[in-house]
């Protein structure tokens, strides 16, 4: 148990659907991340929220829309996805370096949501 939970664990959706992925961390961290893990590709950082402010948007298409209502919760809203968006979406959290943490702080990952777009 890593202290980071993700729901749902599996999601199948059509290209015209709208769905949301949810991530919750119980570690008292204040930075949260979305990663995309596709077959045969390195993990791709999608978004970073630090102190509830989006600090990185790694050239992600607008059909992915993140939301961070508080430091414990992170959402990824999905709409009009493409089949190539099928992947494992991982959420992670860590302590932001400002002001107590460091860039060496461990990122703790959730189990991921396996997304299939038909």
The residues binding another protein (CB under 8 A) are 2, 4, 6, 31, 40-43, 45, 48, 50, 55-56, 90, 92, 94, 96-98, 101-112
* Residue whose CB is less far from another protein, 84 or 103: 103
* Residue whose CB is less far from another protein, 16 or 41: 41
Do 76 and 24 touch, CB atoms closer than 8 A? no
* Residue whose CB is less far from another protein, 85 or 96: 96
Minimum distance of another protein from residue 41's CB (angstroms): 7
φ, ψ of residue 61 to 5 degrees: the values are -60, 150
Do 112 and 88 touch, CB atoms closer than 8 A? yes
Minimum distance of another protein from residue 72's CB (angstroms): 17
* Residue whose CB is less far from another protein, 41 or 70: 41
> Strands (DSSP E) along the chain, which ranges?
4-7, 10-13, 18-25, 31-37, 44-50, 53-57, 64-70, 73-79, 87-94, 108-109, 113-117
């Amino acid at each position: 148990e890593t202290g980071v939970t993700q729901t749902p664990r599996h999601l199948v959706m059509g290209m015209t659907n709208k769905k949301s992925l949810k991530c919750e961390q119980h570690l008292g961290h204040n930075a949260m991340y979305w990663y995309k893990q596709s077959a045969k590709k390195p993990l791709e950082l999608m978004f970073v929220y630090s102190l509830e402010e989006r600090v990185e948007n790694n050239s992600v298409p607008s059909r992915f829309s993140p939301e961070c209502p508080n430091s414990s919760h992170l959402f990824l809203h999905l709409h009009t996805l493409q089949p190539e968006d099928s992947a494992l979406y991982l959420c992670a959290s860590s302590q932001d370096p400002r002001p107590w943490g460091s860039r060496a702080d461990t990122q703790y990952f959730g189990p991921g949501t396996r997304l299939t777009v038909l």
